[in-house]
Amino acid sequence: MGPTALCTLALVVVWITHWVYRWRNPRCNGQLPPGSMGLPLVGETIQFFTPTTSSDIPPFIKKRIDRYGPVFRTSLVGQPIIITTDPEFSYFVFQEEGKLFQSWYPATFVEILGKQNMGALHGILHKCLKNMALNLFGPESLKKMLPAVEQAACRNLKRWSSQESVELKEASASMIFDLSAKKLISYNRKESSEDLRDCFAAFIKGLISFPLDIPGTAYHECLQGRKKAMRMLKNQLQKRREKRSEQQSDFFDYVLEELERADTILTEEIALDLMFVLLFASFETTSLAITMATKFLLENPLALKELTEEHEEILRRRENSNSGFTWKEYKSMKFTFQLINETVRMANIAPGIFRKTLEDIKFQGYTIPAGWFVMVCPPAVHMNPAKYKDPLQFNPKRWEGMELTGASKHFMAFGGGMRFCLGTDFAKVQMAVFLHCLVTKYRWKAIKGGEIVRTPGLTFPNGFHVQFSEKNEFQQDQTINCTSDAALKK
Ligand code: HEM
Ligand SMILES: *[C@@H]1O[C@H](CO)[C@@H](O)[C@H](O)[C@H]1NC(C)=O
Ligand SMILES: *[C@@H]1O[C@H](CO)[C@@H](O)[C@H](O)[C@H]1NC(C)=O
């Protein structure tokens, strides 16, 4: 080996050593939170994505809390990231949205959900979209939606009970999708030549897949689905423009009105991305919550008994046993809301919420450099035995009086701060009404599956096959009639 080659080799070695050193010790104007950056480039990605089926704090997180404390650093897919399991700091991260932190999603999310989707927009545009969406999913609108939600739940349960079994996550996702699609764009699957729901098949898999856009990959399927859905939405918008209806009948009309205002900041692209993300966010999350509630009820006969009593009491109090579910009844269901809280606490449907720092953040003597990613970890907060006694126990009663003890910092199933989930009330209405029909009219048993697969960044069900059957005739006469036409005519 000549001297030049030796020299080059030495330089390469020095460079690599320096690079590895920098990798393990990122630059920081202060002291970084403790933690390990793992292997060069790969970081701790592989450990992070190791799936478990326990509903407890993921082992990846638990180990590092023990070793480093509640806030630690790591590296995922080549990016340095801070993981927070500390309720106070997580709350701070939510509150400082738009100031010290900004919502951030991986590149695959942005490609699939749209570059201009609400999660990727900030400031005034974000506020404008949020207001528009709340017009659709806020309490006033939900009140009007109640009969349709009830009818959908009853009709679907009836159909499921005539089948051998149903995969519940899939079945309830379709139920909710149909409702949202109707509300958003008056879409009716039976009357449409194209199946919009199909565009969203296998979506979750694509969101966290390797971004390789070639036929056969989950990512490719997802992008194709998005393209098809966006084409349909665009066509719809075009048709609507040509034939304007006199009064607002769905969200599309409302968006069109907004688009036509002279001073609007809304563009057609943003509006279409908004439709797309609302469709997606509404059914994937709530269907998992409904599936989990059904599963928890099977495993907890006492909770089922109390829930059934609450709903049978509602029926008994009605003057006309065939009248539909009212808003007043909805608001009165104390135990049901405790059960919903407990379900979403344990389900941890969004196990990681991502942000990016906009400037250096000082926290308890540590510094998080500007431009770093931060992951808030709700499971660590929801499964903390210091706040929730026997956290793995499904116990709706624990919510009794919880409002008074500053529960909000310890409950972040729907996020927090400015980006707090705008579908919270919609999800709760869906769940409550579904549970009402379920416990008053049906029995069910698990046939197969029901396991939830978790990584610190993702929760997905592995198939839960359930058999539904109507309660016996005698009981049914007492417990009334969900399919009440009277309610629908209102
Ligand atoms: C049980 C059901 C649900 C759960 C657990 C859930 C969870 C969440 C969480 C944790 C966030 C915060 C994300 C962040 O801070 O980055 C969020 C935001 C959001 N959710 Fe939900 N969600 C549910 C249902 C829904 C429904 C039914 C809709 C649609 C109607 C919806 C639409 C949205 C939207 C559009 C955002 C973004 C809000 C923003 O960026 O300001 N979600 N959701
Ligand atoms: C459910 O949790 C929220 C957030 O902490 C709380 O405000 C609400 O009171 C809880 N509901 C019940 C019935 O405990
Ligand atoms: C339920 O309501 C429908 C329509 O109002 C009625 O035809 C049917 O007999 C009712 N069933 C029961 C069990 O009350």
Write down the pTM of the prediction. Answer: 0.89
Task: Output the CA 7–ligand 2 centroid distance in Å.
Answer: 67
**What is the reported pLDDT for 490?**
46
Q: Does residue 39 sit in helix, strand or coil?
A: strand
pLDDT band per the 50, 70, 90 thresholds, residue 404: low
Domain count, the chain: 1
**What is the reported pLDDT for 41?**
81
Task: Output the CA 483–ligand 3 centroid distance in Å.
Answer: 7
CA geometry: angle 445, 450, 453, nearest 5 deg: 170
Please name the amino acid found at residue 422.
Answer: L
**What is the reported pLDDT for 327?**
94
CATH of the domain at 346: 1.10.630.10
Q: For ligand 3, atom 11, which residue shows the shortest CA distance?
A: 481
408 touches ligand 2 (CB under 6 Å): yes
pLDDT band per the 50, 70, 90 thresholds, residue 395: very high
User: Which residue segment(s) compose the domain that 306 sits in?
Assistant: 3-489
348 touches ligand 1 (CB under 6 Å): no
Q: What is the DSSP letter of 52?
A: B
> Residue 178 and residue 319: Cα distance in Å, rounded?
31
Q: Tell me: pLDDT of 114 over 90.
A: no
pLDDT in tens, 59-98: 999 999 999 999 999 998 788 999 999 999 999 999 999 9
In order, the DSSP letters of 184-200 are HH---GGG-SS-TGGGG
381 touches ligand 1 (CB under 6 Å): no
Q: For ligand 2, atom 9, which residue shows the shortest CA distance?
A: 403
Task: Output the CA 32–ligand 1 centroid distance in Å.
Answer: 31
CB 186 within 8 A of CB 253: no
**What is the reported pLDDT for 2?**
78
Q: How many helices (H) and strands (E) does the chain have?
A: 19, 12
Residue reference for tokens 């036929």:
215
Burial class (CB in 10 A: 0-12, 13-18, 19+), 190: exposed
279 touches ligand 1 (CB under 6 Å): no
What are φ and ψ of residue 253, in 5° steps?
A: -60, -40
> Residue 244 and residue 402: Cα distance in Å, rounded?
49
In order, the DSSP letters of 114-158 are -TTSGGG--HHHHHHHHHHHHHHHSHHHHHHHHHHHHHHHHHHHH
Q: For ligand 3, atom 1, which residue shows the shortest CA distance?
A: 481
Q: For ligand 2, atom 4, which residue shows the shortest CA distance?
A: 408
**What is the reported pLDDT for 489?**
52
Where is 254: in which H helix or E strand?
helix 251-260
Letter string b/e over residues 352-370, b meaning 16 or more CB atoms within 10 A of that residue's CB: bbbbbbeeebebeebbbbe
Q: Which ligand is nearest to the CA of 485?
A: 3
407 touches ligand 2 (CB under 6 Å): yes
Cβ count near 233 (within 10 Å): 23
Atom of ligand 1 nearest to the CA of 419: 41
Cβ count near 35 (within 10 Å): 20
pLDDT band per the 50, 70, 90 thresholds, residue 174: very high
- C-alpha distances in Å from residue 433, one per residue of 149, 228, 237, 445: 7, 32, 32, 20
- C-alpha distances in Å from residue 411, one per residue of 63, 302, 337, 414, 486: 22, 24, 14, 8, 39
> Residue 416 and residue 427: Cα distance in Å, rounded?
16
Cβ count near 8 (within 10 Å): 12
Residues shown for the chain: 490
Extended strands (E) in 409-486: 442-449, 452-455, 458-461, 464-470
What percent of the chain clears pLDDT 70, i.e. is strictly above it?
93
Q: Tell me: pLDDT of 214 over 60.
A: yes
Bigger pLDDT: 262 or 331?
A: 331
